[in-house]
């Protein structure tokens, strides 16, 4: 594992908040919608105290944010959501302060890793149509722009398919799927700068 630096966050800081299977469920639920620990407890079949403790850890790590508090029987029921918005345009990303980008990056990466771990645990990667690619390579400025454009086109197509499925399903439950697209400049290898 790498240690934190002023310029970036170490791998251990990114992975630590999802280091428990309860947190994987919490991240997944709060990435899909706003939820309270009571709702998460009922949905996952885990004790409220266990869920509440993990929600507090995720909130402290910046993975979850408090959205609202609702009075219920003399107490407050707190509702949380993922700290990262579901979709951020390129223009919004460019305008976003670097600290906020880091929170968004961490949250999305943690949610994606949580989904991946859960899918692997349930055998989802055994399906014939499951796909995982990792393509490190060197680019020039034109190649970089072409990759960004190709991934934007792929994302737009996935979003269109999502909407088409929503219409066809008409509120009936379908098979849940996750598609992820990432593009980033690789960190320098040790000894390089």
Render each residue's pLDDT in the chain as its tens digit; 193 residues: 233 333 344 444 444 555 567 887 888 888 888 999 999 999 999 999 999 999 998 888 778 889 999 999 899 999 998 876 656 777 877 888 887 788 777 777 877 887 788 888 888 888 899 888 999 999 999 999 999 999 999 999 998 998 899 899 887 878 888 888 888 898 887 877 6
How many residues in total does the chain contain?
A: 193
User: Dmax over Cα atoms in the chain, in whole Å?
Assistant: 61
**pLDDT value of residue 20:** 67
Cα 172 to the center of its chain, rounded Å: 25
Q: How many Cα neighbours within 13 Å face the side chain of 63?
A: 31
Element (H, E) at 168: helix 141-169
User: To 5 degrees, how large is the angle CA 162–CA 167–CA 170?
Assistant: 120
Residue 19's pLDDT is what? 52
Hey, CA dihedral for 17, 23, 29, 30, is it positive or negative?
A: negative
Can you give the residue ranges of every domain in the chain? 11-122, 132-185
pLDDT for 17? 52
Cα torsion at 98, 99, 105, 106 (round to 10°)?
160
* CATH class label, 11-122: mainly alpha
Per-residue pLDDT, 13: 47
Predicted pLDDT of residue 77: 94
């Amino acid at each position: 594992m790498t240690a934190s630096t002023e310029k970036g966050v170490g791998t251990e800081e990114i992975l630590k908040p999802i280091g428990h299977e309860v947190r994987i469920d919490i991240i997944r639920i709060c990435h899909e919608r706003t939820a309270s620990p009571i709702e998460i407890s009922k949905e996952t079949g885990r004790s409220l105290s266990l869920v509440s403790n993990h929600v507090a850890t995720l909130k402290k790590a910046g993975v979850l944010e408090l959205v609202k508090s609702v009075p219920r029987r003399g107490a407050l029921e707190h509702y949380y959501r993922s700290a990262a918005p579901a979709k951020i345009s390129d223009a919004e990303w460019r305008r976003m302060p670097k600290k906020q980008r880091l929170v968004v990056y961490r949250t999305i990466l943690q949610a994606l890793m949580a989904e991946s771990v859960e899918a692997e645990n349930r055998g989802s990667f055994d399906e014939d149509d499951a796909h995982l690619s990792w393509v490190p390579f060197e680019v020039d400025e034109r190649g970089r722009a072409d990759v960004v454009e190709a991934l934007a086109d792929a994302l737009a197509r996935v979003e269109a398919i999502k909407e088409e499925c929503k219409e066809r399903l008409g509120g009936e439950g379908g098979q849940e799927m996750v598609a992820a697209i990432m593009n980033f400049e690789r960190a320098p290898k040790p000894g390089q700068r």
